Amino acid sequence: MIYPDDDFRAHLQLVGVAPGKCTAEHLVKLKHDTRTTLSYAGLAKRAEFMNFAIRGSLAQVRWKKLEEQLYGPPIHKRFRGRY
């Protein structure tokens, strides 16, 4: 399912993200909170296109590593090797 622009904008504004101030952490939290199926790359492009993030500021982000730092490893990694 596509994440509508208006919902994306409203969510970022709701959590206090000002234009040009969106970080990778904001996008990981947004994806987690909304359970959007849009990829991190898609979210980053949208944030840049809508001027919430500075162009190129999200280009080298290791999204899955950041996601694990914020929320811990996914279930399939937590139980690896326990059987």
pLDDT for 82:
59
pLDDT computed for residue 2 by the predictor: 79
CA dihedral for 35, 36, 40, 44, sign (positive or negative):
negative
Q: Structure pTM?
A: 0.87
DSSP letter, residue 17: P
What is the reported pLDDT for 73? 87
Tens digits of pLDDT across the chain (83 residues): 578 999 999 999 999 999 999 999 999 999 999 999 999 999 999 999 999 999 999 999 999 999 999 999 887 777 766 55
Domain ranges of the chain: 1-55
* Spatial CB neighbours of 34, under 8 Å, sequence gap ≥ 6: 3, 7, 11
* Residue 16 DSSP class: T
